[in-house]
Amino acid sequence: MSEPILSLSDVVVAFDALRAVDGVSLTVPRGQRRAIIGPNGAGKTTLFNAIAGVLPPTAGKIAFDGHDITRLPPHRRARLGVSRTFQITNLFPRLSVRDNMVLALRGRSPRKFSLFGKSDVDGSEGSQIDTALEAVRIAGRADVMVNDLSYGEQRQLEIALSLVTSPRLLLLDEPAAGLSPSERSMVAEIIRSLGRDITVVLIEHDMDLALGLVDRVTCMFEGRVLVEEAPDEIRRNKKVQEVYLGRPRHA
Q: What is the binding site for other proteins (CB under 8 A)?
A: 52-54, 73-75, 78-79, 83-84, 86, 90-96, 98-99, 102-104, 106-108, 111-120, 143, 145, 161-162, 165
41 binds ligand ATP (CB under 6 A): yes
Among 87, 89, 166, 185, which residue sits at the site for Mg ion (rule: CB under 5 A)? 87
Give the whole-angstrom CA distance, residue 200 versus residue 171.
6
40 binds ligand ATP (CB under 6 A): yes
19 binds ligand ATP (CB under 6 A): no
Which is nearer to other proteins, 117 or 246 (by Cβ)? 117
Which is nearer to Mg ion, 125 or 174 (by Cβ)? 174
Q: How far is the CB of 41 from other proteins (least distance, A)?
A: 21
Question: Left (φ > 0), alpha (ψ -120 to 50) or beta: where does 170 sit?
Answer: beta
Give the whole-angstrom CA distance, residue 167 versus residue 64.
12
Which is nearer to Mg ion, 121 or 210 (by Cβ)? 210
Per the CB < 8 A criterion, the answer to whether 9 and 33 are in contact is: no
151 binds ligand ATP (CB under 6 A): no
Using alpha carbons, select from 20, 26, 21, 22 the residue that is nearest to residue 8. 26
Give the whole-angstrom CA distance, residue 242 versus residue 53.
32
Strand 199-203 relative to strand 67-68: parallel, antiparallel, unpaired? unpaired
15 binds ligand ATP (CB under 6 A): yes
Which is nearer to other proteins, 40 or 119 (by Cβ)? 119
Among 26, 38, 141, 188, which residue sits at the site for ligand ATP (rule: CB under 6 A)? 38
Q: How far is the CB of 87 from Mg ion (least distance, A)?
A: 5
Q: How far is the CB of 96 from Mg ion (least distance, A)?
A: 29
What's the Cα-to-Cα distance from 98 to each of 102, 144, 198, 211, 224, rounded to whole Å? 6, 8, 23, 33, 40
42 binds ligand ATP (CB under 6 A): yes
The DSSP secondary structure of 24-92, one letter per residue, reads: EEEEE-TT-EEEEE-STTSSHHHHHHHHHTSS--SEEEEEETTEE-TT--HHHHHHHTEEE--SS----
Using alpha carbons, select from 86, 48, 83 the residue that is nearest to residue 174. 86
Per the CB < 8 A criterion, the answer to whether 217 and 211 are in contact is: yes
Q: How far is the CB of 206 from ligand ATP (least distance, A)?
A: 11
**Binding span for ligand ATP by CB under 6 A among 38-46, 57-65, 90-98, 104-112:** 38-46
Which is nearer to Mg ion, 12 or 103 (by Cβ)? 12
Contacting residues toward ligand ATP, per CB under 6 A: 15, 18, 20, 38, 40-46, 87
